[in-house]
Amino acid sequence: MERSKKPANIPVSPTIPTPNVSISQDNSRLTASLPTGESVEVLLYGATIISWKAKGKENLFLSSKAHLDGSKAVRGGIPLVFPVFGPPPADHATTGLPQHGFARTSKWEYLGKSTSESSATPKSKGDASVKLDFGLSHTMLDKIPSEWKNYEFGITYSVTLNKEDLETSFAIRNTGEKDWEFQTLFHTYLAVDNISQVSVSGLEGASFKDKTQGGKEVKGSSGPITIGGEVDRNYSLGPTKLITIAEKNKPRYEIYRDLLSDVVVWNPWETKAKGMADFGPEDGYKKMICVETGSVMQWNTLEAGDTWEGGQRIKAFDETSNLDASIAGASENGVATQYGPTQASIGRQDFANKNISQQEPLLNNNDTSGHGIEHEHREDDPQEEQKERPRRPSMLPRPSSIARRTAFIDEDEALPTSPPPAKAGPVSWKDLPNKKQLAILTMARLSEPLTQTSLQAYMFYQLKSFNPNLSDSTISSQAGILQGSFTAAQFITAILWGRMADNERVGRKRVLLIGLFGTCVSCIGFGFSISFWQAAVFRTAGGALNGNVGVMRTMISEIIKEKRFQSRAFLLLPMCFNIGVIIGPILGGLLSDPVGSYPKVFGIDSVFGGKEGVWWLKHWPYALPNLMSAFFLLIAAMGVIFGLEETLESIRDRPDFGLRLGRSIASLFHSRRHQYTAVDTEDTLDSPSNSSWPDSYELESRMPKTSTLPSKPKIKRLPFSRIWTTNVLCTLLCHGILAMHVGTFNNLWFIHLSTPRFDPEHPQPPRHEHQTLPFGFTGGLGMPPRSVGFAMAVLGVIGISLQLFVYPRVNERLGTVRSFRYSLCLFPIAYILAPYLSVIPSSKPPPTQASGVLVWLALSGVLCIQVIARTFALPATIILINNCSPHPSVLGTIHGISQSVSSFSRTIGPVVGGWGFGKGLQIGVVGTVWWSLAALASLGWCASSLVREGSGHEIFLEGEKEEEEEGKEI
């Protein structure tokens, strides 16, 4: 039976289309799309946007050769630059970071999504949008090779896809107790059809730094920019000016900026594009233009607890848009027209104080289904709308509110600013980067010349004490052998230590410690030796265990990478030698044979000696200065253990117990600063929150504690057989000759000063009854240890004065190679004049020591010439050796080889020189060995014409050339 009145069918409301978010099966990328067809794709690696489709077109350029597997930064899309733009500068917290920082090469965490729809109907599909939030904090970066490892931060990065545009925004929070500086930029690659038909408006008349001209400041033209070659320009415009990119006289993109005052325009053009291994296709430069917004022209200082915000909005146009109408419309409304409501409302304090209660839950990283993620529709709270509390603007408001953004910032909340970096001028000592590490290396280096030069003050007399019956010529020969035994052992082992320093199992720091402790033991043994052969054994052991000079040079070159700082940095090692030359001989002279020198203090019936005198000082009269040297070496070793960082790239991030212990000890002497944050009076505890932004500490707690930096690729090593380039061989030849005559001079100088004067009443040799000029004369100056120490100190004072006040300026003017060549011509002059000190009239007759004004003036004059030459030659040769290395992987080996060459030369030179000096005394022509030394120095001067300054990387292994070219891009 049918009813007369059937109930009507209940109408079913059609489902309103909503935005969708999906994740790839490998959890590596997110894709968000709108019902109207717009979409955006984001890699979690670098939080890099790799696709943005709107108006039926792809709007971002992505290289066909881009690495999307997380192995390196993505070429194309919108990579993120933080905390440094371009190569990190020297002596800055970012020094050691990769180019453009770590944000683009770190894996970010997906924090969730939020969506909104306004005026949506099934037919119109509404004006929906979707926002994706990503997070990065310091806890996700376990290994940061720079001072940034000491800083704490939390970053929230939002990507908002609207029907008309794409928004990207940063909220960067300093969550630690230290202030730090940063730069940031959206490295946006925009897609175009033909770069020759593209123009960029909004930059007219603005000055810019042209990096294709070395950063030269250039005044901009009055018209739009067109691209006809390589372009690399940095503009500073202020954050409100609209940037329009047009193609075929029709608008293609508009870029609105919020608190981002700088704009970079870049296109590599053909030549540079070909040099990038991951740039494709070959003519891809015709299909892209980078218009990048950021804050990079100066450093932004972010104080502890503060938050910095900035962002951009890119609007894409279809092909029917008219350029003039678009620009006119923007100008008429101040910047552009206000659009409908936006879903995100973020003030400076939101990032610090809001919670994530309304944020969609985090993506489950264990879900590999690849299906769309459930979305959430939010409705506005009517009670919230009735509040009288003023509404904050959105982080990236619609264009008309961009100009009003600063009205919502309190006076004490003004954005931090810092002055523009000063232009590079002459380098001073205070400009050197990494001063703490250099100071530790300097201390370690200083301890060794203190030890070596201390010996020279009393070695002649210590050898004499072993056997008082030996002749002066025999003692001279023994002194040469003793000096040569140390360097001969170094020659044998220096390459081994260099190879070990390049080895990941050992490293630079351990080799340095072995050298310091080995030399310490050698000093103690030498001081307590009672025969020539015992002393020779300990000297040999000290040389065999010491490869420190080469390692220190390598470490300095790795600490100081910029060439403009190298002339001063490498000067530290010769300066240490001169300081050692000042202090060492004085200490050696004062502390040697204390019983004989200070009988009232250490002798019989003395203050400390009692009735018998100090027993051990009587038996080992030269032990005390050696114990003092051992103490210096021990202090230096402690400094290296507790304070020096490893510089070998492959192991520099390896845990270092000594360094950790040193920092713990240092923290005991520094009180920790406590800070308090004022309660925000505007945000009460009971006020509801509508922010989808996570609080910084909550963000940090949700970050994984594992490192997200890509694992370091295994460093390619140059085979040993390929090290021997022509420049390496020529540089080592000059270095060997220089080391030979300088080492021989150092040995002959103290022997000549200590050798007894010629006495006509007791001539030596007996047949040499009188002195005849210009060649027939013999004898030394007969100075005791204290006078020898003072004379050696004169050499050091002259050297350190020249190195501090003269060398840097002259070297800056002449350059490394020319200052090296000019200085070499002075050595022969000093060596020709040196033996004539024996015939300078003295105020006292022989056999007493030579003295008087004329003697000391002549002595100082010869030293001055030799030290001037050495002051310029030694730092220059260190730099030349460092830069002649054909590949960075063999830098330690090159320095080890150079030390071996130097050790070999300093072994042969002093031995032959000591023998030659003894022969000269026997035949009555003491100048023979000196004039031979002058001939050798002249040969080195001629050989210097074959040397050129290298780059430190002249041989490229497979794939390295492409990586270097890629590193030069912006």
The catalytic residue positions are 187, 292
Helix (H/G/I), strand (E/B), else coil: 4: coil
**C-alpha angle with apex 729: 727 to 734, nearest 5 degrees?**
95
**C-alpha angle with apex 111: 368 to 169, nearest 5 degrees?**
125
Instruction: Give the whole-angstrom CA distance, residue 271 versus residue 118.
Output: 48
Strand partners, 109: 135
Instruction: Give the whole-angstrom CA distance, residue 959 versus residue 256.
Output: 39
Q: Are the CB atoms for 73 and 970 separated by under 8 Å? A: no
Amino acid, single-letter form, for residue 194: N
Q: Which of 172, 185, 181, 417 is nearest to 294 (CA)?
A: 185
Give the distance, in angstroms, between the CA of residue 927 and the centroid of all CA atoms in the same chain.
49
What do you get for the CA distance between the two ends of the chain, in Å? 83
Phi-psi region of 496 (alpha: psi -120 to 50; beta: other; left: phi over 0): alpha
**How many CA atoms does the CB half-sphere of 664 hold within 13 Å?**
6
Instruction: Give the whole-angstrom CA distance, residue 378 versus residue 343.
Output: 9
DSSP string, 666-685: HHTTSPPPP------SSS-T
Instruction: Give the whole-angstrom CA distance, residue 300 versus residue 181.
Output: 5
The residue whose two tokens read 């000059």 is 734
Helix (H/G/I), strand (E/B), else coil: 799: helix
Which contiguous run of DSSP H or E holds residue 954?
A: none
Strand partners, 137: 154
DSSP string, 557-599: HHH--SHHHHHHHTTHHHHHHHHHHHHHHHHHHHHSSHHHH-H
Amino acid, single-letter form, for residue 910: P
CA dihedral (678, 679, 682, 688) in degrees, to 10, reads 150
Strand order through the sheet with 250-258? 109-116, 129-137, 153-161, 165-174, 307-316, 250-258, 243-247, 198-201, 225-226
Exposure letters 107-146 (e unless 16+ CB within 10 A, then b): bbbbbbbbbbbeebeeeebbbbbbbbbbbbbbbbbeebbb
Instruction: Give the whole-angstrom CA distance, residue 514 versus residue 496.
Output: 13
Find all residues with CB under 8 Å of 366, minimum gap 6, and list them: none
DSSP string, 109-147: EEEEEEEE-SS--TTT-TT-EEEEEEEEEGGG-S--SSG
DSSP 762: S
DSSP 219: P
Q: Are the CB atoms for 482 and 536 separated by under 8 Å? A: yes
Find all residues with CB under 8 Å of 720, minimum gap 6, and list them: 890, 893
